[in-house]
Structure 1
Amino acid sequence: MRDFVHLHVHTEYSLLDGFARISELVKVVKELGMKAVAITDHGSMFGVIDFYKQAKKHGIKPIIGCEVYMAARTMYDKDPVKDKTQGHLVLLAKNMTGYKNIMKLVSKGYIEGFYYKPRVDLSLLEKHREGIIALSACVAGNVQRELLNDHYEGAKQEALKLQAIFGRGNFYLELQDHGMEEQRKVNHGLVRLSKDTGIPLVATNDVHYLRREDAEIHDILLCIQTGKTLEDKERLKFSTREFYVKSPEEMEKLFPYAPEALDNTLKIAEMCNVEFDFHQIHLPKYDVPYGYDANTYLRELCYQGLKDRYGNPDQELKNRLDYELKTIEDMGYVEYFLIVWDFIRYAKENKIMVGPGRGSAAGSIVAYTLGITDIDPIKYNLIFERFLNPERISMPDIDIDFCFERRQEVIDYVIEKYGKEKVAQIITFGTMAARAAIRDVGRAMNMPYAKVDAIAKQIPFQLGMTINKALELNKTLKDMYDTDEAARYLIDAAKALEGVPRHASTHAAGVVISKEAIDEYVPLYMHDNGITTQFPMGTLEELGLLKMDFLGLRNLTVIRDALDLIEKNHGIRIDFSKMSYDDPKVYEMISRGETLGVFQLESPGMRQFMKDLKPDCFEDIIAGISLFRPGPMDSIPKYIAYKNNPAAIKYLHPKLEPILNVTYGCLVYQEQVMQVVRDLGGYSYGRSDLVRRAMGKKKMDVMEQERQYFIYGKIDAKGNIEIPGCIRNGVSEEIANQIYDDMIDFAKYAFNKSHAAAYAVLGYQTAYLKCYYPVEFMAALITSVMGNSSKVAQYIQDCKRMNIEILPPSVNDSDAKFTVEKGKIRFGLLAVKNVGLSVIEAIMEARRQKGRFVSFMDFCDKVDTREMNKRAMESLIKCGAFDHMGAYRAQLLAVYEKVLEGIHQDRKRNIDGQMSLFSTFEEVMPQTMKEDVLPNVAEFPSKILLAMEKEMLGLYISGHPLAEYAEEIKEISTVTTGDLLDLRDEFENSDLKDGSYVRMAGLVVHRQNKVTKNNHMMAFISLEDLYGTVEVLVFPNVYEKYVSLLTEDSAVIVEGKISMKEDEQPKIIAEKILPLTKKQKYAGEKDNGEKMKLCLKISRDKDISLIEQMKPTLEKWKGNVPVYLYVEGKDRKMQVMKADKSLWVKIHRELLEELEKMLGHGCVKVHESDPLSSNPSHLGVG
């Protein structure tokens, strides 16, 4: 048997075409006894580093390559007929020179040669030929195409051209046999060519998947790529099932007539030797002032910053700074800090808002003294080693937030400073997540939508969820899989494709800066948003490149705009750097849950948590942000209880108190885990971070080894104590084990305190602005979400709660953004549909130069109407921007086109020299434009005026069609559109989930009927409440019952379940629809006569007298909903009691909030089924 190496392989990074997963590919190659394998993805090099590492890990020699596309003429020709097709050519790197040349070719193919595909040409190959072996590729290769067309001489010329470029011995004619007749014809010609020219043969299989049986999944993948179904006979389809990783024996049987073609695969593999060095760092050089080197300049900047931050710093601060500086110098990251300091300095000097910090960088005093962060790491006990650790070699990671509107200015500065060829944005890959994979595969298989949707809905909607995990967690899904053959086939196919890259896009914030031109280190990719690297962020870091996250944070723009408005209206400029974070009024506002718009504290769940927690110091905010996540949320009741009763806190050992007292005895932060192993076990700072990482990543073998060291210590080979251990430090074995167990249990959820502290700074700052300058803050906040009418409506409702009046748009008083006018908020013109910045600038310039507009005609006279198109004028009229001038909207809509046309004609006459230089506007104005001849028409009805506002502004401003039902909606609805809007950002922390039963009252503003495949009618309706709009799906069985209620402008109550999909707004699946009437009472009656139930849990640590205390509250909300009490006994058993009918209630948000204040977070729930018919422990009332 001859040995063989696969040299033509398409991995999952031949997007939606290759299905040879790299992680499995190297294993299959090894199982089949092959010692090397190549990667040759179509036109790109996305996966080469991952491939290299995986191959090395499994003892397989990696051969780096690419199958490039050859332009029909030159790569710059882009004729739709002549240049639509491309040839294929396989390129393999012999060495690093070849690797770099292939990178250059691939990069230029995207950036300069892209036309349908990234193309190169012979001229470019000539320029970058060194260190490359070329293979003639598949039947789509230029040589093979000539042979297929019976042009032997043409094929010969193509082959000789390529041999001339790459040199004798570096170009091979590629034999393939996948059982296709055209390949047999081509192979006959290739053998003849080889004999005639001396160009050697090489045998390959065009690998697109790993095993023969994977052909079906690959077929589905092609359907997903092309948007076709398996039933479509005209679709792209591989004609055989032979495109897999064949064994050497199988390959030998295919080519008995060319044994040298197999031998040449080994020869080529031996010639290809690319080795990556993952220990080099390619930081750009920072030019320091004369007389300094990088080290001395960084030290100078830090010591100056130390004085600025601390005044007269003590020795402890200097020691901390010196320690960090030495670590940074030893690890070679001095230039890194200077580069970051420089562009942050540029931003601040140019009044671009910069965030206080993000992530573990906030633990560095170097970052603090340089002004990179604004959180004092000493005051808040933040740990440097969580950021940079000499015992864990990795690039430092500083993510920086900038004002959303001006982020690009900072990136432009970096590009200008270091050169555009050295700076690029970073690629990211969208992969097939569990639900998306099921939906994609279902479409490809042409399965009924309802069936696919039902299966997809069984996948829990949470981060990191996989199909296998869902099968373990969800019995319904498992039953479907076990009993339904079609469902099982769908799920298995989706599992096979889960995690496969689906598309490439640009990382929202990532930017890479290199020492030399970027394409010296990584290949480049051309995307709609510009040029990006072909390697994702993690790979760039492994290659030693400087990666930065330049994040645009909307909240910083809000703070900036609010500070500007405050300065304008009150004459003061607030400086947060000089502010302490201890204002009682701010904490009182947060404790009332009035934090809509406050950074990190505005979601419904977080607002309720703040009401329960009642934070009174900055550490509470940091802890709150850390706890309000899946996992740690279970500790919230304990945290609140200990905060309210510190005497109940018990520490397993006295040494834990100084570590955990700031969080009331609860383990909350990763930094606390590090501090525990240091203070009790005697670990070094660096090693404590390794323990933290092992716990966070659930590395059980590492954790158990560290347990031994933590308890008993570690002695090195020379008998020196490397780690003292708990026992040597006076902590018993039993207690040490218990502490370690607690840490393991919580460390997987523990949060980075540095990150939480940075978030808390912005949370406090925005809360301070809302507390003391609510009008300016809300104006800035609403401006920041002008493109999101639901959010605007939500914030305007909050303004009404605070008695802040919202003034309508006005051509006389509005600016582009929302502004403050005598304690009221004036609508910004940028929020008006069809009104662009140029129109607004023309209006504002006219006001500055010529004064206020006294009438519509005066407006037309003063404003440069070259910028004022008809659509913009119509929008301004409809939204009410001229209402204050006395004319009706109906009158202005009747004449505005004639007015604009008249002005246009006047201007034309003026240009033609037909108008006297001394004529006045009044003299030449067409008669139809004069003020006193506005048509004598009545104003539109209120309903139409409101509809105009909604059309132009996305919401109602002068009133609301549902205003008369406001009280009923508040009483009836269990959810608002605002809650559903927040749900996308908070689905893991919210009580509302996919499938949650909800009730919403609102207005049917749009209805679209659709006939199903079974010829039944269903509808999609847009339901609007006081905050925004949600889509409601009304399936046939519900449609038939309630179709009479689904007319547009009908006020209805919809009951149903939330439906959530990736990248879509939540919807409601209607189950019941009722008319909404004035003064309606609603007790939650369902079709089957059952009622909603209110379940209240009184936990062991609460006094039973609470039942008496609750009575007045329950009586205040008297209604028809039964109340059940769950009283937890000392033995933890639950006693269930049904309250007397005199204490039954009507469900209302205020009632639930009052009860939760008394009973605590999570102790108040509304249910649909009878609690007494179920085991109380499963009701979720605890």
Structure 2
Amino acid sequence: MSGFVHLHNHSDYSLLDGACRIGDYVKKASRLGMQHLGLTDHGNLFGALYFEQECHKAGINPVVGCEVYIANGSRFERSSKLPRSYHMVLYARNVEGYKNLMILSSKSYTEGFYYKPRIDDELLEKYHGGLMASTACLSGEIPKAILDEDWNKARNKSVYYSELFGEDNFYLEIMNHGILEEKTVRTGMRKISKETGIPIIATNDIHFLEREHANAHDVLICISTGKKRSDEKRLKTENPEFYFKSEEEMRRLFPDFQDAIENTVKLAMRCDLTIPRLEHRLPSYEIPKSFANSQSYLRHLTLEGLNKRYHEVDVEQRKSIHKRAEFELSVLSDMSYVDYFLIVWDFIDWACRHGIPVGPGRGSGAGSLVAYALRITDIDPLKYDLLFERFLNPERVNMPDFDIDFCYERRNEVIEYVHEKYGHENVAGICSFGTLRTKAVLKDVARVLDIPFSESNAITKLVPEGKIFDGREIDMKLALEMEPRLKEFYKKGGVYKELFEVAEILEGMNRHVSTHACGKVIGRGPLTDYVPLIKDQKTGDVITAYTMDVIETCGLVKMDFLGLKTLTLLKNCETLIRKLNPKFDIDKLPEDDAATFKMLGDGKSEAVFQFESQGMQKVLRDAKPMNIEELIALNALYRPGPMQYIPKYIESKYNRRKIQYPHPDLKEILQQTYGVIIYQEQVMKVAQTIGGFSLGKADILRQAMGKKKEKEMARMEREFIEGAENKGYDSKLAKDIYDMLKPFAGYGFNKSHAAAYSVIAYKTAFCKANHPAEFWAANLTNEINSTDALREYLAYAKNEGVKILPPDINLSEKYFTVDEGRIIYGLTGIKGMGQGAAEAITEARKFKGDFTGFLDFLKKVDLKALNRKVLEISLQAGLFDNIEQKNRATLLHNLDRALDISCRRKNDEASGQISLFTESETAIEFQWEEVDGWTESHLLRLEKEHLGLYVSGHPLDPYRSVWEKTTNMSIQEIKFCTNKKTHSVLGILKSVRTVLTHKGDNIAFAILEDFDNTVELAVFNKAYRKFGHLLTEGNIVLIRGKVDLSRGNPQIRVDEILEPRTLTKTQQRGNKALMSSKKGINKMRGEAEAVTFRIHIELVDAAHSEKELITLRTLLQDKNGSGQLYLHVSENGAKSVVKASNRFSFAVDDIDDIRKHHSVAAVWKETL
């Protein structure tokens, strides 16, 4: 049995200070034979619950503590003149002490935070019960007094705390890290101990696990302080003694204090804490007095809701509906979740009554009929065959979990309502931790070690993304195994070897604490009865100090209040459509709209919720969904795992004779998905039908299969086969079906969630298909702060024939609007035009009429809301073009004088002075100084600067013919091309950045922008030496280079840069080289008219023999016109896009003929 205990230890929850994980502390303590272990992180209890759990698993007694900061005075005082806070270590002896520790820690954040979370003596006097304490490190109050030779203070404070905490509950703490001041403190502590009888403990202030981790800890401190290791004036922590030492090492450090070593065990043995695990403690919902209890009130609300939802059903259907509702109500009552449902119903009902859009459902909650009756969800579980047991299993205690989507702009109103209703002390957010993940820790450590950014960036880009095939997440060790180029850096030795070694030690440690994006907890009483709290210093929000994965064990139920931008989009879209059709209701759309499904079947799903990706567009073109059920299936299938079954699903849809059911009894379950198991609910129903499982037991089976719990799966397999035999099924058939379920249980998706989100998707698709101008205007408003999204959506809208009007001072509203099918640019879409300025303009126009000119504008608008910069931006962006004969340059040149006169006139009016001029005379009075107008290129540059995109034209417009002749794809199409192949693109250079490598070579990175999109360029030394002089922002250039798709976002590694004036000389050479990838097709010639549409033909993989291409070419002959042809080619899994060199025209019949060709996988048309 060990005669020493480490009591003063800091884990990585002492953020960017402690350099050791809790689990590693526990393992080492166990290895060294220690029966007790302490955790005392700086000012918080983040790791307390996890520490207690890990200690109990290892058979170690946990000593849960905290190194608190004690204010030098009142915790409420905040002044830079105050002396720094003192340190003190507190330990929880029992549950009472743990609760007081939670209160103290919480109040240090909510009441005492000033640079650090602080408590004071007043709080200690109130909440000291069940606690033990020690004097801490050199920053403790008593050690400081000893170092200041203030013996009276040192002795008196020691006696004060000893009397406060009680006999044997307060200890004098000594340390020996080789620091001179510690020796003085040790001598002083012995003196005080002899005089007062207060015992001494010896500790080591552990911050890292092993002695050799000292360097990693020093680097961690540099990360925390933002310094480099080479900085002379930085905080240095190179002392290697703050590691986890053995008892023998500690005894050698304190030869004259062996009693202090043994006292650590005495202190630890007095701590007997098991943190209570509680059943959920939701508040009791306050029901109307006319109801006996919450169960009767929920039943009343349910029946009332069912009558509204199903008022047209017949008697038999009504009986069936009520039977299921009564079953759900009984489960909710038995599991004590009635109040949970009422609480959720209440805040959703409040949101709906206040016009806040609420989602139709999310997750498994849509499977509840009671939730549907209460309008918690808006998806009919009977219509879509959704299961309550998938949401709440009566055969296993699991917490209900409604994830609720709200309009993201008004979500906080609902959260504030909940705070007000249940009390601010009873409601809080949930904390989460950002960690030093592989790429992040490499970048952080590289910066500290002075490795150039270009090199650290190159290193981190070599780290593979995501997870490998067996689900193991990429970490440092695995990355080095998988990527030889990373290993080459490591083998260089020196600072590179150190980079990987330090990064591997720090990898995965906590970096910062933040607020979970949507999680909230509601307690039956003050939350400090259950968990410690902290305050988010950025937002002021109070949040739990425990993360969402452990708060349920403390008796709290998590509720997710999510903000979904698509709900905001649909609300804005509905508002715009109602200007033409006041009866339009986004929640009452026909579910069989032909235009909607035609658009989806054509793959035109850009900006359609959940269906916008390029891959999903391909699936839509192949599957051609005809109803919402098929949308649900595709939504569920288009995910890693089940994606492999998409071809089978599509093939079975079009050739139903190929569908084979394992048994006729499964046809009813599988026929809607053409024989393919897609949903978890189907797995459950198969287990019920064949194995005789209840749905609750079937859900347990689904989870066991999904999580590959081998023992549980083996046991349930026997039960499944036995149940099947009891129902008359053959045991071999039962075994085959059970084996069939295994992979699908892992891949299968929750139909309830897919159904809810597919309904939202259908609504967005309906708006796009039937009201495109309103749809795109709403999207533009939704993304008004994202330049990239605005540019992309404006391009989509233009491609669909929607006209975009530039901002206009008399037409533009605060956001994007629609007038006669045209989108009018919104004022807040202009960079630098804030909400207040936009509102001032629209308010002035509303109450004083349209503006007749710039001077009239200055007269009518409240100039306090529009500073000079806003006025300058407005002029440069062309807001006054339609009401002013003066050019923009003249208006800007005269701005200061016009503004001065207008301000003086308004001041005169405000002071009651009468102007000598009438309104018309004022205009005459102003003498304009005329200047030459700006060039078109300058106007476009300003438009780009202030709108984030070009509206009235594009700098590349003069080069369209050159672009068509010399490039083989647009930037948008690069993501589909073959990796490492050479391609040619034309555009404008942006964000040019030159970097000097450690070898002294110049390389450059830049962004190339064409009509619609951007791509990153990498210009390495060879190309830089030849073409570096052309790398100027704003230059229009033709780029030739190899496309690198290995890092997610495409990058072109530049081989050649050409200017427009040289393009004609290189055009044919480049075109021939780039178009020769397929015989026959590239030989088509002929000068073409302007492109008005594009035809895309996707070839079946490996269907590219010359013979097959010749037969395809025959279909394309004599089709000259204005369409650009693109061939999408797959070779050995790699994809590329080849653009034909001439133009074509296709009739509908022609496209159908091409689609039927056996080498063609898909054909689609893109109108420009």
Contact 2:574 2:586 in 1 (8 A): no
Residue matched to 2:1113 = 1111
Q: Does 1:624 align with 2:634?
A: yes
Residue matched to 2:513 = 504
Residue matched to 2:348 = 344
Q: Over aligned residues, Cα RMSD in angstroms?
A: 3.7
Contact 1:26 1:55 in 2 (8 A): yes
Q: Does 1:494 align with 2:498?
A: no
Once residues 1114 and 828 of structure 2 are traced to their aligned partners in structure 1, the CA distance between those partners, rounded to angstroms, is 49
Contact 1:3 1:263 in 2 (8 A): yes
Letter in 1 for 2:82: K
Q: Does 1:441 align with 2:450?
A: no
Specify the SS of the correspondent of 2:890.
helix
Residue matched to 2:396 = 392
Once residues 848 and 1081 of structure 1 are traced to their aligned partners in structure 2, the CA distance between those partners, rounded to angstroms, is 57
Range with greater deviation from structure 2 (190-199 or 94-103): 94-103
Once residues 536 and 1043 of structure 1 are traced to their aligned partners in structure 2, the CA distance between those partners, rounded to angstroms, is 51
How far apart are 1:735 and its partner, in Å?
A: 4.0
How far apart are 1:740 and its partner, in Å?
A: 3.4
Residue matched to 1:884 = 882
* Matched-pair identity in %: 39
Distance change in 2, residues 1:781/1:1084 (3 Å) = farther
Distance change in 2, residues 1:1157/1:434 (3 Å) = farther
- Mapping for residues 529-540 of structure 1, pairs under 5 Å: 529-531=539-541, 532-540=543-551
Letter in 2 for 1:26: V
Residue matched to 1:210 = 209
Q: Does 1:1073 align with 2:1050?
A: no
Letter in 2 for 1:548: M
Deviations 1:1114-1146 (A, max 9, x none): 77799999999979xxxxxx9x9x9xxxx9956
Contact 2:992 2:1007 in 1 (8 A): yes
Q: When the two structures are superposed, what TM-score results if normalisation uses the length of structure 2?
A: 0.89
Residue matched to 2:696 = 686
How far apart are 1:766 and its partner, in Å?
A: 0.5
Q: Does 1:804 align with 2:802?
A: yes
Letter in 1 for 2:539: N
Q: Does 1:1039 align with 2:1047?
A: no
Range with greater deviation from structure 2 (370-379 or 697-706): 697-706
Contact 1:794 1:978 in 2 (8 A): no
Q: When the two structures are superposed, what TM-score results if normalisation uses the length of structure 1?
A: 0.88
Once residues 1144 and 609 of structure 2 are traced to their aligned partners in structure 1, the CA distance between those partners, rounded to angstroms, is 24
How far apart are 1:1088 and its partner, in Å?
A: 11
Once residues 731 and 1004 of structure 2 are traced to their aligned partners in structure 1, the CA distance between those partners, rounded to angstroms, is 67
Distance change in 2, residues 1:522/1:512 (3 Å) = same
Residue matched to 2:556 = 545
Specify the SS of the correspondent of 1:1022.
strand
Residue matched to 2:838 = 840
Contact 1:433 1:466 in 2 (8 A): no
Residue matched to 1:219 = 218
Residue matched to 2:572 = 561
Letter in 1 for 2:773: V
Once residues 363 and 962 of structure 2 are traced to their aligned partners in structure 1, the CA distance between those partners, rounded to angstroms, is 45
Contact 1:1097 1:1159 in 2 (8 A): no
Once residues 1080 and 505 of structure 1 are traced to their aligned partners in structure 2, the CA distance between those partners, rounded to angstroms, is 58
How far apart are 1:488 and its partner, in Å?
A: 5.7
Once residues 743 and 390 of structure 2 are traced to their aligned partners in structure 1, the CA distance between those partners, rounded to angstroms, is 20
Residue matched to 1:169 = 168
- Mapping for residues 720-799 of structure 1, pairs under 5 Å: 724=723, 726-799=724-797
Letter in 1 for 2:1057: I
Contact 2:688 2:695 in 1 (8 A): yes
Once residues 976 and 10 of structure 1 are traced to their aligned partners in structure 2, the CA distance between those partners, rounded to angstroms, is 55
Residue matched to 1:1131 = none
Residue matched to 1:1168 = none
Deviations 1:121-162 (A, max 9, x none): 222222222221111111221211222333333322332333
Contact 1:375 1:758 in 2 (8 A): yes
- Mapping for residues 995-1006 of structure 1, pairs under 5 Å: 1000-1006=985-991
Name structure 1 gaps, 5 residues minimum.
Answer: 714-723, 981-989, 1128-1133, 1166-1182
Q: Does 1:1050 align with 2:1044?
A: no
- Mapping for residues 60-459 of structure 1, pairs under 5 Å: 60-83=60-83, 85-232=84-231, 234-292=233-291, 293-311=293-311, 312=313, 313-459=317-463
Once residues 68 and 707 of structure 1 are traced to their aligned partners in structure 2, the CA distance between those partners, rounded to angstroms, is 54
Q: Does 1:604 align with 2:614?
A: yes
Once residues 364 and 714 of structure 2 are traced to their aligned partners in structure 1, the CA distance between those partners, rounded to angstroms, is 26
Letter in 2 for 1:1038: A
Deviations 1:782-832 (A, max 9, x none): 110011111111111111122111111111111101111111111111111
Contact 1:37 1:60 in 2 (8 A): yes
Name structure 2 gaps, 5 residues minimum.
Answer: 1080-1096, 1164-1168
Distance change in 2, residues 1:1099/1:856 (3 Å) = closer
Distance change in 2, residues 1:769/1:533 (3 Å) = same
How far apart are 1:508 and its partner, in Å?
A: 1.5
Distance change in 2, residues 1:976/1:298 (3 Å) = farther
Once residues 649 and 1103 of structure 1 are traced to their aligned partners in structure 2, the CA distance between those partners, rounded to angstroms, is 32
How far apart are 1:1099 and its partner, in Å?
A: 6.8
How far apart are 1:559 and its partner, in Å?
A: 0.6
How far apart are 1:219 and its partner, in Å?
A: 2.9
Once residues 207 and 1160 of structure 1 are traced to their aligned partners in structure 2, the CA distance between those partners, rounded to angstroms, is 71
Letter in 2 for 1:467: D
Q: Does 1:961 align with 2:945?
A: no
Once residues 1144 and 680 of structure 2 are traced to their aligned partners in structure 1, the CA distance between those partners, rounded to angstroms, is 36
Once residues 498 and 967 of structure 2 are traced to their aligned partners in structure 1, the CA distance between those partners, rounded to angstroms, is 41
Range with greater deviation from structure 2 (1045-1054 or 859-868): 1045-1054
Letter in 2 for 1:540: I
Range with greater deviation from structure 2 (870-879 or 741-750): 741-750
Distance change in 2, residues 1:1164/1:467 (3 Å) = farther
Deviations 1:580-622 (A, max 9, x none): 4222221111111111121111122222221122111212211
Once residues 481 and 1159 of structure 2 are traced to their aligned partners in structure 1, the CA distance between those partners, rounded to angstroms, is 26
Contact 2:1099 2:1130 in 1 (8 A): yes
Letter in 2 for 1:633: M
Letter in 1 for 2:612: E
Distance change in 2, residues 1:289/1:1150 (3 Å) = farther
How far apart are 1:222 and its partner, in Å?
A: 2.3
Specify the SS of the correspondent of 1:288.
coil
Letter in 2 for 1:1111: R
Deviations 1:407-466 (A, max 9, x none): 111111111111122222221111122222222233333344454434322322226732
Residue matched to 1:476 = 484
How far apart are 1:469 and its partner, in Å?
A: 7.6
Distance change in 2, residues 1:909/1:412 (3 Å) = same
Contact 1:1024 1:1030 in 2 (8 A): yes
Residue matched to 1:518 = 527
- Mapping for residues 650-661 of structure 1, pairs under 5 Å: 650-661=660-671
Specify the SS of the correspondent of 1:611.
helix
Q: Does 1:875 align with 2:873?
A: yes
Contact 2:968 2:1074 in 1 (8 A): no
Residue matched to 1:467 = 475
Distance change in 2, residues 1:653/1:438 (3 Å) = farther
How far apart are 1:1027 and its partner, in Å?
A: 2.5
Once residues 136 and 979 of structure 1 are traced to their aligned partners in structure 2, the CA distance between those partners, rounded to angstroms, is 66
Deviations 1:485-531 (A, max 9, x none): 56665444433322211111111112221111222222222220222
Distance change in 2, residues 1:1156/1:298 (3 Å) = farther
Specify the SS of the correspondent of 1:569.
coil
Range with greater deviation from structure 2 (352-361 or 181-190): 181-190
